[in-house]
Chain A
Amino acid sequence: MARMKFLCDADRCIECNACVTACKNEHEVPWGINRRRVVTINDGKPGERSVSMACMHCTEAPCAAVCPVNCFYTTADGVVLHSKDLCIGCGYCFYACPFGAPQYPKVGNFGSRGKMDKCTYCAGGPEADGSKEEYEKYGANRLAEGKLPLCAEMCSTKSLLAGDGEIIAQIYKERVLKRGYGSGAWGWKTAYRETIES
């Protein structure tokens, strides 16, 4: 079985935000919820790099570990999903997540959180694949249709890679070998406890 991962090749990322709006478009993500975002490090200085970041679908996901109600689960593809029916919106996964992935709609008074929302790797949720309920709660389920996450598919410079971890690591390795530079597979050490040697 494939182990799905994301890899952002920062030497290709131009902060065009296609990944961000593709995600909004595919899942009708409301204003204020950013399942994916692009962060620019060293903005305006030589050496500046932008990195697109969302849930990395960690190995031994910290969110799952700290969830008081155990609403996370990992699919056979290694995608970390959660059940919004079980989530109580406590915010603990946000404290645990190294990537700032969990998002909470503001509901009610004094900024209390609604049910957590995050990148699903375009793999929906616990409901039946492709069902209306699944779409409403988690968005489209592209993985079930044999497609990869739209953010990566639409990436303007093919910077954001999605797919089986070994394959995308291989692609990245070859790129670095060919061009002779690479600023690293951002987040991989934290998420997967591995790095791609270049």
Chain B
Amino acid sequence: MPSLGRFIRVTIRAWVLLLLIMAAPSPSLAQQINPTASSVNERQLLQEMDRIQGRVSIPDQRSSVLLQPAGREWREFRNVALRWIGGGAILGMLAVLLVFYLTRGMVRLESGRSGRTIVRFTVFERFVHWMTATCFIILAISGLNITFGRPLLLPLIGFEAFSEWSQWAKYAHNYLSFPFTIGVILIFLMWIAGNIPNKVDVAWIKRGGGIVGHDHPPAYRFNAGQKMIYWIVVIGGGLVAATGYVLMFPFYISGIEGMQMAQIIHSVVAVLFVAAMIAHIYIGTIGMEGAFEAMGSGEVDLNWAREHHSLWLDEQSGRTGPNDQRPQPATAAAE
């Protein structure tokens, strides 16, 4: 709720200012104007506002902020809170997945492979996915490096090597943000049709997605879990991209507080995003038999489709025979 707190603070400040203005007697000339005696005072100014700003003649207006102790709060966030949040989210997710894997193991194709396949993702879809995914992984690693590299990696490889690596990581982070952003936008457009939540999802969630036991709740092309991933990517990706650009173009969009705020949003969303993507990767690889093929070759076994996306398979089959013809555009799926 940082923005709400901010809003409240700003409002209070405005009121204080208004009261001050009203309380101050209108400067009657008959009174002595003693600039020495009435000089401003740091302590008092800091009580009134959380930063001290004045006038500078150089055009760089950010230098007009004289004092901004908020930097210390941000430092606390970055050095303490973020490491707990990030560490907790990522390690926690890994731990959950490990426990799950050990107890449940890979979700097998219960009916075995049929030998017949159906196109699940087109070449273009797969290209977009993998472009975004590659960027994401590099962005994640280079991003995590900024937060965790200093305590974890630096002691291992030394200052020079770490700086060299971090410098390249920074370049990579900055430049790969562009294809990543494009990827997120394409994902949003490409799959929005199949990702509108509906009644089927409610049932799917009620049945726990069939994760526990051997249940297979019906689903269209994307089940509720996948929809969740989709929205995490779209919303999370949008947020990290937006805040990232605020940081990449310093002071074009916002001042220093805005950038601190942007950095906080960027980093928190990013670590959560990473945690979510770890789950996504798990389920797409060792978590479920036959899932990887969807993004690998783009074709999935009919049995896999039947077990996990029965409604989608029905739709597809109603239209054409399985794998008889050229694959249909994916967008047809939800028609």
Find out whether A and B make contact in their complex, taking CB atoms under 8 A apart as touching.
yes
Q: A residues bordering B, Cβ < 8 Å?
A: 10-11, 32, 34, 37-43, 46-51, 53, 62, 65-71, 83, 85-92, 94-100, 104, 110-113, 181, 183-187, 189-190, 195
The segment from B35-43, B87-95, B107-115, B196-204 found at the interface with A is B35-43
Per-residue interface assignment for chain B, residues 141 to 172, with 1 indicating a CB less than 8 Å from any chain A CB and 0 otherwise: 00001110110001000011011001100100
Q: How far is the CA of A111 from the CA of B251 in the complex (A)?
A: 9
Q: How far is the CA of A31 from the CA of B34 in the complex (A)?
A: 38
Interface size class of B (residues with CB under 8 A): 35 or more
Q: How far is the CA of A82 from the CA of B267 in the complex (A)?
A: 25
Q: B residues bordering A, Cβ < 8 Å?
A: 27, 33-43, 45, 52-56, 58, 60, 62-72, 74-75, 78-79, 145-147, 149-150, 154, 159-160, 162-163, 166-167, 170, 174, 247-252, 256, 259-260, 263
Distance between B52 CB and nearest chain A CB, rounded to angstroms: 6
> Which of A42, A68, A70 meets B40, CB within 8 Å?
A42
Inter-subunit contact B78/A184 (CB<8 Å) = no
Inter-subunit contact B67/A97 (CB<8 Å) = no
Residues in chain A near residue B56, CB distance under 8 A:
37-40
User: What are 11 residue pairs bridging A and B, where the CB atoms are less than 8 Å apart in the complex?
Assistant: A39-B52, A40-B56, A41-B45, A41-B53, A47-B39, A53-B67, A67-B150, A95-B263, A99-B68, A100-B68, A189-B43
Q: How far is the CA of A89 from the CA of B64 in the complex (A)?
A: 22
Inter-subunit contact A99/B67 (CB<8 Å) = yes
Inter-subunit contact B78/A98 (CB<8 Å) = no
Secondary structure at chain A's binding surface: helix, strand, loop or mixed? loop
Secondary structure at chain B's binding surface: helix, strand, loop or mixed? helix
Inter-subunit contact B78/A112 (CB<8 Å) = no
Q: How far is the CA of A68 from the CA of B263 in the complex (A)?
A: 14
Inter-subunit contact B58/A34 (CB<8 Å) = yes
